Amino acid sequence: MTEERTARAIFELAGSAPAQPGSEVLGLWSAGKASPPGQTSFAAGGSAEPEIPVWRVNLPSDAEQAAQDLTLAENSLARAEKALDVAEGRISALVEKRTSPAVFGIPSQPEGLAPPEQELLAMLNQAQYGSLAPSFGLTDQFQEGWEQAVNQFQGFVDLVIQTLTHYAWVETRIAGRLSVRTAVSWNGDFETAWQDLIESEQMHLHTRTLKIALASRAITVRSFAVVAAAAGKLTALMSTPGGAILALPAAWKYINEIRAELEKYQQLTQEDRDGQ
């Protein structure tokens, strides 16, 4: 078995501030480097334009493995999208529950809530009272979490802005070699350059890569919509001025945790299946 055959696909988002430093966008795209030497032809004047996000997929030369990796990526994106629906529903339920007559306000005890909800309420609590007062028995670790969430959310906003204002570059590399590149303007115009005499199989791999990259962009923008709506709902639990603004990073963090929860569930299910 050669090295290429055993290598797995790498999904990189280059030339863009990652939404989550040290982690992956939508759980799929890791922060990639700018175009490697010799690839500067991407940029006008021969220099790279790091502000243009490049969605780069480096596939193994084994076509079967490549197809499997793309299938996993498609499934992962589907879970990311599902996480948005789940998060919307759970936030609505949470707000409804917390504003019902039986429960009063954020400070009350969060028994029976899942960890993402507990953490969400803790963050709102902190924003609400503007202090490091212990909440739910947890202490100042929340301030750190809060700052991290704000930074991550800002990175996410930057990514969405880039998505909405720049071309997207989608590249498919096979065993490290560029074989196709598509430039997609925000309004949907496509320009694709193919390696001459590219094999039909590789063509189809790129169309799948392109679909994954474009779906990732759309989910990223949709994520912002969900975060904004969630923050609006969460203001019902806050009396702090600028409540919706402060709720944005908390909502963003919450949605990521829901997605991670779904990923974890998928992983456990897969492990169970593999074990049988």
Partner 1 sequence: MTDEASLLKQTLTFNGINGATGGYLLDPLTPKEIAMIARGESFEKEHLRELRHRYLRAAQTHLGVKEGVDPKKIQETGWGVIFAFDDRERLPALKEALSELLNLRQEQAGDLYKEYIGVDAYRPEETKTAFLARHGMGPGPADPDKVPYYLMIVGDPETIPYRFQYQLDVQYAVGRIYFDSLEEYAQYARSVVEMERSQKRLPRQAVFFAVQNSDDPATQMSAKHLVQPLALEIAEDQKQNQWQVNSFLAEQATKATLGDLLGGEQTPALLFTASHGMGFPNGNELQLRHQGALLCQDWPGPVAWRQSISEDHYFSADDLSTDARLLGLIAFHFACYGAGTPRLDDFAHQAFREPVAIAPHAFIAPLTQKLLSHPKGGALAAIGHVERAWGYSFMWEKAGAQREVFRSSLKRLMEGHPVGSAVEYFNERYAELSTVLSSELEEIEFGKTPDELALAGMWTSNNDARSYVIVGDPAVRLPVSDEGHKNDGQQTDSAETERPTISTIVIHSEATVEAPLQPPPAQPDTSGEVISPAALDYGLTDSLRQARDRLTQSVSQFADKLGKTLEKAVDDAATLEVYTYVSDDMSQVSRDFASSAQLRAFTRIRVDGDTEVCIPERSREIDQQLWAIHLDMVQQAQTNRAEMIKAAASAATRLLEALKIV
Hey, which residues between 15 and 44 contact partner 1 (CB under 8 A)?
38-39, 41-44
User: What is d(CA 7, CA 4) in angstroms, rounded to the nearest whole number?
Assistant: 5
CB-CB contact of 4 with 62 (8 Å): yes
User: Is 7 or 180 the residue whose CB approaches partner 1 more closely?
Assistant: 180
57: nearest Cα among 93, 97, 17, 7 = 7
Q: Which of 11, 142, 153, 254 binds partner 1 (CB under 8 A)?
A: 153
Query: Distances in Å between the alpha carbon of 173 and those of 28, 78, 97, 114, 251?
Result: 17, 23, 49, 41, 36
User: What is d(CA 179, CA 177) in angstroms, rounded to the nearest whole number?
Assistant: 6
Closest separation in Å from C-beta 225 to partner 1: 4
User: Is 135 or 179 the residue whose CB approaches partner 1 more closely?
Assistant: 179
20: nearest Cα among 155, 169, 218, 187 = 155
Q: Is 214 among the residues that bind partner 1 (CB under 8 A)?
A: yes
Give, as ranges, the residues between 57 and 116 that touch partner 1 (CB under 8 A): 98-99, 101-102, 104-106
Closest separation in Å from C-beta 176 to partner 1: 12
User: Is 86 or 157 the residue whose CB approaches partner 1 more closely?
Assistant: 157
Range in contact with partner 1 (rule: CB under 8 A) among 4-12, 20-28, 67-75, 192-200: 192-200
